[in-house]
Amino acid sequence: MTLNSDDERISYLCRNDAKLATMIALIGELTFNVRSSHFESLVLSIVGQQLSVKAAATINNRVRSLVSSITPEEIDRVDPETLRTAGLSSAKINYIKDLSAKLLHQEIDLTLLPQLEDREVIEMLTKVKGIGQWTAEMFLIFSLGRMNVLSLGDVGLVRGARWLYSAEHKKDGNPLAQHAQKWSPYCSVASLYLWEAVNRGYVDSGKTVEELVSG
């Protein structure tokens, strides 16, 4: 999925939020990939918990090298000590093993998730060890392609929003909650652009979005 100025979702956000519109203009076109394997998406989200994007990518690649594909059967087959060599903590090994076991024993059915409301998806997924609110929200965005998800506790999003609205908010507030109404029903799209601002170093540049745009 490609997001650009011709997309109605982008037009809507820009009409409703001038600051966000300036940041979108700075970043430009953005490609959004939805993961096709629900199980793999959950495993990679668990692996990436509390890690930087770079560190998570490194460990994810190591995990991929240990199996022919990331499936419940393959993860169940791999010895915990082998997974540890990829850089996984004992807790994360237990989490992905528990997820694999629940799927193999048909305790949960990931094929049902696309038919459920966001709230129902979160309720189902958070029954699995190691899957909390944040991981379930990431699944909604990156696996189900849901367009109106806003992870209020995501550190990167909070940092991005504080930078974007620096002149308008105190440090002790959560700017995400303050702007969610303007972004709905495309909070996920706004989130993608805020994450990209963090990834490109804009948030830590010491400059406002207006200064970056003006060069």
DSSP assignment, residue 134?
Answer: H
- Map out the domains of the chain with their CATH numbers: 2-32+149-214 (1.10.1670.40), 38-142 (1.10.340.30)
> Could you report the per-residue pLDDT of 30-81, keeping only the tens digit for each?
998 888 899 999 998 898 887 777 888 899 899 999 999 999 999 999 999 9
> Could you report the per-residue pLDDT of 125-181, keeping only the tens digit for each?
998 888 999 989 999 999 999 999 999 999 889 999 999 998 555 566 788 998 999
Task: Give the closest residue to 145 by CA, choosing from 106, 103, 192.
Answer: 192
CA within 13 Å, CB half, 67: 21
